[in-house]
Amino acid sequence: MNRLFSGRIVAIGSAVVLSLTLARAADDLPKAENILDKYVEATGGKAAYQKHHSTVSKGTFELAAMSLKGPITIYHAEPNKILSEIDLGSSIGKMRDGSDGTVYWSFFAMMGPHVKEGPEKAQAEISARYNAEVNWRDLYKEVKTVGTDTVDGKDCYKVQLTPSAGGPITQCYDKESGLVVKMTMTAQTPMGEQTGDSFFTDYRKEGNILMAHKIKESGAGQEVTISIDSVTFDSDIPADTFALPDEIKALLKK
Residues 201 and 224 in one domain: yes
pLDDT at residue 89, rounded to an integer: 87
Residues 128 and 116 in one domain: yes
Residues 126 and 146 in one domain: yes
Helices (H), the chain: 3-28, 32-42, 46-50, 89-92, 118-128, 136-139, 246-253
Residues 46 and 74 in one domain: yes
Q: How many domains does the chain have?
A: 2
d(CA 229, CA 15): 54
Residues 41 and 131 in one domain: yes
Give, for all 254 residues of the chain, the pLDDT tens digit: 443 333 434 444 444 444 444 444 455 899 999 999 999 999 999 999 999 999 999 999 999 888 899 999 999 999 999 999 999 987 788 999 999 999 999 999 888 999 999 989 999 999 999 999 999 999 999 999 999 999 999 999 999 999 988 889 999 999 999 999 999 998 767 666 778 999 999 999 999 999 999 999 987 778 999 999 999 999 999 989 999 999 999 999 97
Residues 94 and 44 in one domain: yes
pLDDT at residue 27, rounded to an integer: 55
pLDDT at residue 16, rounded to an integer: 41
93: three-class secondary structure by DSSP: coil
The parent domain of residue 16 ranges over 1-30
C-alpha 138: how far from its chain's center?
Answer: 15
pLDDT at residue 204, rounded to an integer: 98
Residues 126 and 183 in one domain: yes
pLDDT at residue 28, rounded to an integer: 86
d(CA 127, CA 204): 21
d(CA 187, CA 193): 6
Residues 223 and 137 in one domain: yes
Residues 42 and 10 in one domain: no
pLDDT at residue 181, rounded to an integer: 98
Residues 4 and 65 in one domain: no
Residues 51 and 21 in one domain: no
What CATH number is attached to the domain comprising 62? 2.50.20.10
Contact 115, 99 (CB under 8 A): no
Residues 16 and 36 in one domain: no
